[in-house]
Amino acid sequence: MKARLTLKVCTRARKTGFTGQYGDAWRLQVCAPPVDGKANEAIVRFLSRLAGMPAASVQIVSGFTGTTKIVELDGIDSERLQRAILESDGYPSHTGSVATPEA
């Protein structure tokens, strides 16, 4: 079983984590700079920890030098991966409340 994930990556962020969705892609901020493959390595490490699998199971299959990347994770299904992303600390959850905050 394999899952594919489309990412819209922003490098040199303060914190590595998901910040929402961009169409069908997930927006991912990465602390590492886009130099000498450091951002790609950081993406692989982050996703492997998130999915609870070895880094060798995570592979960037498209977009090595661009900001839009397709990543393949071997050993996890798409539903479990989406759940892990939604439960990660970096993705803001919606409380369901329609009340506006008071100033």
Q: Tens digit of pLDDT for each residue in 40-94?
A: 999 999 999 999 999 999 999 999 999 999 999 999 999 999 999 998 865 554 4
pLDDT of residue 69: 97
- CA pair distance 28, 47, nearest whole angstrom: 10
Contact 69, 9 (CB under 8 A): yes
Domains of the chain with bracketed CATH = 2-87 (3.30.1200.10)
pLDDT of residue 95: 47
Question: Smallest Cα–Cα separation from 27: which of 42, 46, 6, 4?
Answer: 6
Tally DSSP H helices, then E strands, for the chain.
Answer: 2, 5
pLDDT of residue 102: 54
